[in-house]
Amino acid sequence: MALELLPEFFLFLGIDFFVAVALLCSIMDYFRRSVAYLFEAAAVFGYVNLLMSQQFLYFFSEYMRFAYSFLYLALALAGIVGINFYLVISKRAWSTAKLFAGTVTLPTVLISVFFFSLYVRDTSYTLTAAFLSSAIVLGTAIAFLANPDKFKDWLGKEVNK
């Protein structure tokens, strides 16, 4: 029996990501409290979006429901990737950024791609391409993040100025 996902599943997935990131931002010392509240407000917006989609379930087609659900998930993933860039560029916390990328960013992206491939019902090509591209990105990121001097030279900045 095939697993059939509804488009609102991506909305729930985005809400879960926003709540998890809000919890992580409140625990980490690099962020103000307002950042965690911002992610919590984004999660509440997802619940409001879910309630509104329930009222307009018969008016919107499946494509429209998928579009705004997937857009919400993309915003959640952009927030997670943005935290990585903030840790690397603004706070210069290389070890924390590597830890966050390996334990939060990569798994959330892979989980999202996996469920997207289940929704499309094409697990063979989409999932294989996603794992290959994520492995390439992970290998490149490890090469640059393992040695911050190479990354700073690649950006064209002086080291320890």
- Structural domain includes residue 62: yes
Q: What is the count of structural domains for the chain?
A: 1
Q: Structure pTM?
A: 0.75
In a domain, 123, yes or no: yes
Domain around 69? 8-155
Within-domain flag for 1: no
- Tens of pLDDT along 41-58? 999 999 998 888 888 777
Helices and strands (H and E) in the chain: how many: 7, 0
- Say if 32 falls within a structural domain: yes
161 falls within a domain: no
In a domain, 3, yes or no: no
Instruction: State pLDDT tens for residues 79-92.
Output: 999 999 998 888 78
**Is residue 160 one of the residues assigned to a domain?**
no
Distances (CA, A) of 94 to 61, 90, 102, 152: 45, 11, 12, 11
